[in-house]
Chain A
Amino acid sequence: MSDGVKLRVRQASKIYPTASGDLLAIDRCDLDVRAGEIVSIVGPSGSGKTTLLWTMSGLHSLSSGEVQLDGKPITAPSRDIGMVFQDANLLPWRNVQANIAFPFEIMGQQPDKAWIAQLMHRVGLEGFENRMPRELSGGMQQRVALVRALSFKPSVLLMDEPFGALDAFTREEMNHLVEEIYLDTRTTILLITHSIEEAIFLADRVIVMSARPGRIASEHLVPFARPRSMEIMSTKEVFDLTNIIKKEIVGDQKSMAGRPRSTARAAG
């Protein structure tokens, strides 16, 4: 940790056996995420973004290579890592409070009530403790998921296309919220997204992945001070950067169109 690297990915490859043969989802990826940094990963479907994130969470193993947290290899899920999934992934039979208590139940610990109350206040969920997930809007559900992921104070937050299902306005709101929480906690955040705008707005660095096999294609710095406002999105720098990334992704998809798809199921 002396070099300030929180997450380190070295020569990470993952092969999924499928009915139509082996699928190389990610191929020799290298990535460093420094402590207190926000990094977003964009790329076309099938670029292995989700696979990369899941191996970092310890949910999946790598076929070769290594992922490290604070210099130690990640082989199993750990409480240093909080995960926010695609669609809120709440348990529909539990109310908001019980959903947030879920990680503590699994870990066999008492929930940190004061910290959770602070988070609930921060995301505007006060008074919703006893609501059932189905009574909440998509944005509210994702807020609950955010509180749940941060409730046990992980030092890393992995977000897997968290706001993809939300409308544009709610998404913008959630992006501001994530930055606010980041400025409060300085949690290291790795975000996977389909939205180039979201990737640029939130991140210090945007990583572009290419598809089949998933490789790290390029890296772009986003040199704007925080807190950021949506106004930076209309600056020339962001406009140019968006276009560059868009071209990389579209170009990659075009070159892919000629290739046979090894499987119908895209690995995120």
Chain B
Amino acid sequence: MESTDAIPQFSKSDAGSGGVGVANMSALAAGPGIQSVRDVAIIVIVAVIVVGGLELLLNLFSVPQYVMPKPSEIAYALVTDFWFILPHLGHTLVELSSGFTIGALVGLILAAVITQFPFAEKIIAPYILMLVTTPMLALVPLLILRFGFGYTPRIIAVALAAGPMVMINAATGFRRVDSGKIALARSYGASTLQIFWKIRAPMALPMIFVGLMVGSIFGLLTAVGAEMVGGGFGLGNRLTSYSSMIQMPQFFAVVLILSILGILIYVLFFLLGKKFASWET
């Protein structure tokens, strides 16, 4: 039982309240700086200059399309091939969302359980570290051999990539013990389960959101990578297919879709973190 027989002490640093959380590590933290119409205008103008300048330079030096297509060509490919690419985006999203959900759930549960048993944590730690540092893409050929060219190997790969990321961050959150707050709950007779749900879990929430964000980006990476290895569908499959046919505008259109997808995932978790874990900042 925590804090039952330790010397009672309070310290501000105890809670590790140095301000972790999605809102702090986020590049979007610059958001509130944008205030006036003028700021927005400047941002738009810079974007236009960058894209327009690229178009102009590629024209000026007559760079061949197979080296680098012009932004206008990419945009055209995006529009004309949109309905063809869309189902592939759908496949990627299915793999990402189901793999991520499974991985994140298992990661969260494992994090919550192992942090309750410090000794078990020490035993498991090296394996978790191995799972985090090993690129799960390496397993995809094996998974395809075992499970075929369908969704299954990709979902497993995504779960294996996202899960450990969620787990390692969530565990950091669950480990942030504030003995004062636990003593408070215990002074009302709280059970271990109540302490978990009402003290530990809320305290871990900011780190959990960091884990979900990093895990989902790793999941996207792994999903696309797995699609490139084998199977006839998904955005990764489109990338290998377009590049083998030197259809560079289409290739970059897919890259553009992927970066927009990544940004949307990032923004989603940023907003969720801001809504549910903003008390820390």
Q: Is the interface of A mostly helix, strand, loop or mixed?
A: loop
Interface residues of B in 9-23 (CB under 8 A from A): 9-10, 12
Tell me the complex Cα distance, A94–B172, Å: 22
| Interface pair A79/B183, CB less than 8 Å apart | no
Least Cβ–Cβ distance between A166 and chain B, in angstroms: 15
| Interface pair A91/B187, CB less than 8 Å apart | no
Least Cβ–Cβ distance between B35 and chain A, in angstroms: 23
| Interface pair B280/A77, CB less than 8 Å apart | no
| Interface pair B5/A61, CB less than 8 Å apart | yes
B60 within 8 A of A: no
| Interface pair B9/A265, CB less than 8 Å apart | yes
Residues of B within 8 A of A60 (CB): 4-5, 8
Closest residue of chain A to B203 (Cβ to Cβ) is A93
Tell me the complex Cα distance, A173–B280, Å: 29
Among B9, B188, B205, B279, contact of A103 (Cβ-Cβ < 8 Å): B188
B189 within 8 A of A: yes
B184 within 8 A of A: yes
| Interface pair B190/A89, CB less than 8 Å apart | no
Q: Is the interface of B mostly helix, strand, loop or mixed?
A: helix
| Interface pair B180/A134, CB less than 8 Å apart | no
Interface size on A, as a range, is: 35 or more
B230 within 8 A of A: no
Tell me the complex Cα distance, A59–B9, Å: 13
Among A81, A91, A103, A267, the most chain B Cβ lie within 10 Å of the Cβ of A91
Residues of B within 8 A of A57 (CB): 187
| Interface pair B7/A79, CB less than 8 Å apart | no
A92 within 8 A of B: yes
Among A18, A79, A93, A267, contact of B8 (Cβ-Cβ < 8 Å): A267
| Interface pair A93/B186, CB less than 8 Å apart | no
A59-B187 contact in complex given A25-B7, A50-B8, A85-B10, C-beta closer than 8 Å: yes
Interface residues of B in 58-115 (CB under 8 A from A): none
